[in-house]
Amino acid sequence: MSVHVAVVGATGAVGDLMRKVLAERNFPVRSIKFLASEKSAGKTVEFAGQQYTVEPIRPEAFQGVQIVLSSTPSSVSREFSPVAAKAGAIVIDNSSAWRMDPDCPLVVPEVNAHELHNIKKGIVANPNCVAIPLCVALKPLHDLARVKRVVVATYQSSSGKGAKGLLDFHAQLTAWAAGQPVPAPTAHRAQLAGNVVTLDWTLDPNGFTEEENKVINETKKIMGDPSIGVCPTCVRVPVRVAHSEAITVEFHRPLAVAEAKAALAKAPGIVFMDETIDGRFPQPIHAEGSDHTFVGRVRQDPSHPNALCLWVVADNLRKGAASNAVQCAEELVRRGIVK
């Protein structure tokens, strides 16, 4: 079976990666088109050895398309995702526009792919880049002992700010490493080279940042349990690609470390590293370029008998964005939702 596909926001960092991931994973494409803003329309992109001209985003571009992979600002998605859905496509949207809409499933395939059978508006929301690997790691443990509360501190890479973030970080790092004055930040909210930044996002009225509130709300929705307590602290660190997370999980019953390790080692989408066996532990350099979630440092919380601590790393551009969206598309085809 092959599918008519459109990639929207095709010239952006995530859109460009969606195109590459589709090819890498041999997604069954019958036809494909690439859409972007008027400013980018007319550019050419390569897919599967062929050159394609980027088209402007407009209603008629969605005719005959079955799956739309979209990575645009939320305002653009709010305008055009319903248009694409009305034309008959299922939109997998990477913006935050639809994530908390009760009629739009928020999907991580390893966790809640069954929600793809409940697409009421023709839109599937792709979750936040922290919530995705967090839930991938929580799912096998939740199945064993049911998660009660999660405390997570993130170590988020510069690429979370897109290409502008990486350019900003590179300029800072070059100057900092040479002992020269570090230029003022342009994408990040403070100097990132040789530093960490815990307010690299908008501060919301509740004292948490916009990013932290996304992790709270999206984790509950993905896990399908609004009773789960989530307390995040999101931090930008001087790393190019891949987000890391230090997680403490409280369960409704005690869960042995050995039982948790065994479940994680066989869980889909996880590369488990057991430092007690071979000394290996997850690092951003392992995750960069991978579609897997890397998990390690599983240990008993010494302060609570029902809690474990673990360390999680994933490529924020791939598993945290583009690859998760393509995996959702694969599930739509595998389950016969798109024919």
306 CB contacts (<8 Å, ≥6 apart)? Answer: 145, 148, 250, 251, 252, 253, 254, 255
Where in the sequence numbering do the catalytic residues fall?
Answer: 129, 243
In the sheet that 29-36 helps form, which strands lie side by side, from edge to edge?
55-56, 29-36, 3-8, 67-70, 90-93, 123-125
Residue entry with tokens 């952006």? 12
Cα separation, 164 vs 236, whole angstroms: 15
Cα separation, 112 vs 90, whole angstroms: 17
- Name the residue among 88, 121, 115 with its Cα closest to residue 103: 121
Residue 312's SS3 state is strand
- Name the residue among 29, 3, 7 with its Cα closest to residue 16: 7
Q: Across-strand partners of 147?
A: 251
Tokens (6 digits) for 186: 């342009």
